[in-house]
Amino acid sequence: MKEVIILSLLGILGMGRCSKDGLVNVALRGKAAQSSTYYRGTAKRAIDGIRNTTFKDDSCSHTLGETNPWWRVDLRKTYQVTSVTITNRDTLAERINGAEIRIGNSLENDGNSNHRCALISSIPAGCSTTFQCHGMQGKYVNVFLKGYMQYLTLCEVEVNAHPAPIEVGPTQASELSLIVPVTDNVALKKTTNQSSQYSHMGSSDNAVDGSRLSMYQDKSCSRTKSEVNPWWRVDLQRTYNVTSITVTNIEDIDPEMIDGAEIHIGNSLQNNGNSNPLCAVISSYPAWEVMTFQCSGIEGRYVNIFLPGCNKHLSLCEVEVNVGSRPGEEETLYDMDEHLSSDRRVQDMKRGQDILCPDHKTRHENVATGGRASQSSQLDRFGDANNAIDLNWSNQYLERSCSHTNAEVNPWWRVDLSKTHNVTYVTITNRGDCCSDRISGAEIHVGDSLFNNGNSNPLCARIPYIPAGQSRTFPCGGISGRYVNILLRGKEKYLTLCEVEVQASTFQTDLPSTAPETAVTAWLWDLLSSIYILVI
């Protein structure tokens, strides 16, 4: 009975099914390409018709470790793709997690901006999984893995499809007629400004020079100094209906720093333009290099990128502003006073001006030292949970200074600080000898509850990426809690931490700082103080 149920579920999920009559693996006759090649892992090995899952047998494609690796097959003509089957390698199987299957006829962004068929949450080591695409049309099938220092390995990609009809039906034609015309990048070479400039290489104008080069040393990225609430702004010279903003992030210097940046559009220069209506909030997770944010036609002359927070620097390698007009209408130069958008204006016009930053003269204790650590599982004798709070910053796993879980669903690590603290910062040191990308997407939680092993406590921060062997500090804003958790959501995930430091001050109540002088109030003071001591 159990076997029947399992087979039924596999049939429902479409895993490992044979092709239906009339469907052909059209990838076999295609032409493959990829973003880079590691060793003998050429792109064409993923369409050789062999499901061998061992890389050394020369039947799998393999990219270098890079930002946003991709693989693509050109099917040579447009097909209606019913399903895509991917065979994963037999080791390091988790590297495929989060990859996207995209299908379409465009080679813009190397084909990675075509419509998405599926998101690959995971594929077990050495196994094949089929993803349903429901007749999506396209000439190109891409497998695209977003992130910094990611490796993409594919042991076989099978594309089951029918030839697509040549005619464009009435439904498709009517949909095409609704597309709003989009202009070219109106930010190109326009006047820019920023809150400060880090060096002569970090001019604000670099972000509108038309180049998507993402290395600071290429002198094509803007960069501010480390400061409170840095910002960047472009003056479009006139008011437009902004449909989308495309941002190219920096790759070589703290790419995760952009996390939490806000895109504002409007006609006001109040608060340097940072109080104009909000288009989008930028997240650095999952990691990316170029991303487009839809702004739904917000009106504005000024486009700001505003990064709220303490000790932040803002780097932008390119900002592209696409604008559109309604069909049959010409773009209009709006009157600055009459067309200020009010329905999407940020309510707090002092956005970011009242952020209180810590006094760096005040010493914050690393309260994780002396705490008690635990984790969801332990890989081997080298990966004890307490290794992450041993004050040894070695990033080499075999030196017994890093914690390590098994590959599992939602692994976690936790330190018990013994009492409640106001947690201001959490610093994490990543592994340096291998697999640094595994930390990407982990969450830091702080609180007093052990419900769900502490993983449901308030979120302090999400870790987008930490370079191999390096440390990154995440502000928690004084969240009070006794337990600090690191949670990594997903299937077949390993969680490795080489050091976790928790900067905090001891939680205090609102008791007066000095004892009262009268006998009665002194007695009450002693009583309250004794209760407070018992509580903590």
Dihedral of CA atoms 332, 336, 341, 342 in degrees, nearest 10, equals -160
Render pLDDT for 246-280 as a digit per residue (tens, 0 to 9): 999 988 788 878 888 899 999 999 999 998 998 98
Render pLDDT for 413-427 as a digit per residue (tens, 0 to 9): 999 999 999 999 899
3-state helix, strand, coil in the chain (%, to 5): 15, 35, 50
What per-residue confidence (pLDDT) applies to 285? 58
One fold for both 191-323 and 365-506?
yes
| Residue whose C-alpha is closest to residue 498's, from 349, 327, 382, 363 | 382
What per-residue confidence (pLDDT) applies to 313? 93
Superfamily of domain 365-506: Galactose-binding domain-like (2.60.120.260)
- Site of tokens 């969450």: 443
Q: Kindly state the percentage of the chain with pLDDT values over 70.
A: 78
Whether 236 shows a pLDDT value over 80: the answer reads yes
The β-bridge partners of 87 are 128, 156
Report d(CA 256, CA 290) in Å as an integer. Answer: 13
Structure-block tokens of residue 149: 């220092």
Report d(CA 319, CA 300) in Å as an integer. Answer: 15
Report d(CA 56, CA 52) in Å as an integer. Answer: 10
Q: How confident is the model at residue 517 (pLDDT cuts 50, 70, 90)?
A: very low
- Site of tokens 């288009």: 279
Sign of CA dihedral 459, 465, 470, 474: negative
The contacts of residue 334 (CB under 8 Å, 6+ apart) are 238, 239, 267, 299
Q: Is 228 helix (H, G, I), strand (E, B) or coil?
A: coil
Say if domain 10-166 classifies as CATH 2.60.120.260: yes
Name the residue ranges covered by the structural domains of the chain. 10-166, 191-323, 365-506
Render pLDDT for 159-198 as a digit per residue (tens, 0 to 9): 999 887 654 333 333 333 223 344 579 999 999 999 999 9
Report d(CA 154, CA 86) in Å as an integer. Answer: 7
Q: State residue 444 phi and psi, 5-degree precision.
A: -105, 125
Render pLDDT for 311-345 as a digit per residue (tens, 0 to 9): 889 999 999 999 975 333 443 333 333 333 333 33
The β-bridge partners of 235 are 191, 302
The β-bridge partners of 144 are 70, 100
* Chain centre to alpha carbon of residue 255: 10
The whole-number average pLDDT for the span 111-131 is 91
The structure's pTM equals: 0.51
What per-residue confidence (pLDDT) applies to 98? 87
Q: Please report the beta strands in 288-447, taking only residues with DSSP state E, as ranges in sequence order.
A: 290-306, 315-316, 318-323, 365-366, 372-375, 403-404, 412-429, 443-447
What per-residue confidence (pLDDT) applies to 288? 66
Render pLDDT for 75-100 as a digit per residue (tens, 0 to 9): 999 999 999 999 999 999 989 998 99
- The one-letter code for the residue type at 270 is Q
What per-residue confidence (pLDDT) applies to 146? 85
The whole-number average pLDDT for the span 399-417 is 96
Q: Give CA separation, 175 vs 111, 114, 140, 330, 470, in Å.
A: 22, 17, 22, 22, 49
The contacts of residue 486 (CB under 8 Å, 6+ apart) are 412, 413, 414, 428, 442, 443, 444, 445, 495, 497, 500
Superfamily of domain 191-323: Galactose-binding domain-like (2.60.120.260)
Render pLDDT for 350-374 as a digit per residue (tens, 0 to 9): 344 445 565 544 446 799 998 999 9
Sign of CA dihedral 219, 224, 230, 235: negative
Q: Which residues of 349-362 are buried (b: 16+ CB within 10 A; e: fewer)?
A: eebbeeeeebeeee
Report d(CA 380, CA 398) in Å as an integer. Answer: 11
